[in-house]
Structure 1
């Protein structure tokens, strides 16, 4: 008997207006430099990272025989492409403010090109499926815990709300291609998660530090911010610690992403967006 829940429909949404042309406060997250740069560092990874994810799934597209999965792959690609476009626009604003963005983009471009060239198709896809699992976990957590975006600029909170909704909608696509088409071993699937789980937090920490440095903060000030930020994220009852069960579920041999239900307010956001066409107004359901 399947333990999967009912899946959310994957709905690509395009031409969203987050009103970024109106300018952006330097520390848009309630004036907090660390919280601002934590999410900014995530944003820098998205345009290039999404292209990489698309490439790893597209590598198996000709081998997909299930029409439903093939349609989901197309919608996955459309959603990921749109995420990259919106975050590229946001990242451009950060660069104009003098934030260290370009070095990260160059590094990630070289990194993912190297992975596609040197790694097997299967392990590249395993990495993507693992990243999608961690991303879905984070997205499910961020807006269930009001502390994550409390005091943040509504436009940026709306970007992450929309991005989170769509990440949850397509969270099983790469995994299904990995297990049903590539048919990788359990060890390969888990190796992708272990690799990503070590690499990503270290990369985010380094990027946040570089951004805070470009803000003019000295080494001691940055160290204090990074330690305080780590406590905010990982303390008992913090932003991410309550979701550790979600994370470790990936290690179960019979795991499937849809064993986790969509996050609270998913349906309310979809309804609000369909009624208003305004992602900023729709994000108010999370407040």
Structure 2
């Protein structure tokens, strides 16, 4: 490998730093529609984050299956750090899911549906393919930071506590973005075509669950079916327009289908060092998030 290639990998792969005991202030004082008083955007992100705790447990179990086969000590340590980060994510989002319960959201019912889906993955597919599916999901979540925090317009008006939670999660997803992919490449039989198939499944399943969760919560809020569809139409440009939050990373999702792709091909968000420096200085995810947003374009 050339010196240039090695330097690129070093810049695009920051150290994995598990951070614990973070206090985001996730309690009943968070407004019901915390995203700029916009019910649709609030419940869309609520639907996204609601899935994280069980999703993280699925990711961890998929990788742990292969832990004993990993002989590279660096990758073995990264698996441990990945597991610790994902465990912390699950605990933080569980705290907010309890807030959603207090708002009358059918959290337990939605989580039961998700657990059935994830258990189905484990039962239906081989351990190798479950790691491939996890690698695909991890690629998608590693793109969240720039999608949600690279531009001021995306998270503008959101409650600072939720901004801090999502920013911290997104930052750590960038840090461990290569771990599952490297496990897949080094100790499983997954090749190019099954890797691509896993990404297609991951995109389809995650989008379906996201909109299903958000629609169910909006229904619990008392919005009728026509009102919910009208909300979606009004927010299509925010989601999928030329500067939409989801359309902003389409090309990076597509990059996964390149035969020689590796997660280190995609650099971390340019302002990642801003979040990191402020967090190291203050040990406050809130101040680190505000520093990150101050650098957004």
The match for 1:245 is 251
Return the offset for 1:156.
0.4
Q: Distance in 1 between matches of 2:109 and 2:235?
A: 23
Match of 2:97 among 91, 103, 112: 91
Which stretch of structure 1 is more off in the superposition, 232-241 or 27-36?
232-241
Q: Where do 5+ consecutive residues of structure 1 fail to align?
A: none
Is the 1:265–1:285 Cα contact (8 Å) retained in structure 2? Answer: no
The Cα shift of 1:240 comes to 2.4
In the alignment, which of 153, 156, 165 is matched to residue 162 of structure 2? 156
Residue 140 in structure 1 maps to residue 131 in structure 2: no
Is 1:198–2:199 an aligned residue pair?
Answer: no
Q: What does residue range 1-287 of structure 1 map to in structure 2 within 5 Å?
A: 1=1, 3=5, 4-6=8-10, 7-21=13-27, 23-287=29-293
Q: TM-score, normalised by structure 1?
A: 0.97
Distance 1:147 1:88 in 2: 27
- Does the 8 Å CA contact 1:209/1:226 hold for their aligned counterparts? no
Task: Structure 2: state its 5+ residue gaps.
Answer: none
Distance across 2 between alignment mates of 1:89 and 1:163: 14
CA distance in 2, matches of 1:265, 1:56: 31
Contact 1:11 1:166 in 2 (8 A): yes
Paired residues in the alignment total 287
C-alpha distance in 2, partners of 1:74/1:132? 16
1:10–1:76 CA contact under 8 A, matched in 2:
yes
RMSD: 1.2
Q: Deviations over 1:24-73 (max 9, x none)?
A: 10000010001100110011100000000000000100000000000000
Q: 1:227 to 1:100 in 2, by over 3 A?
A: farther
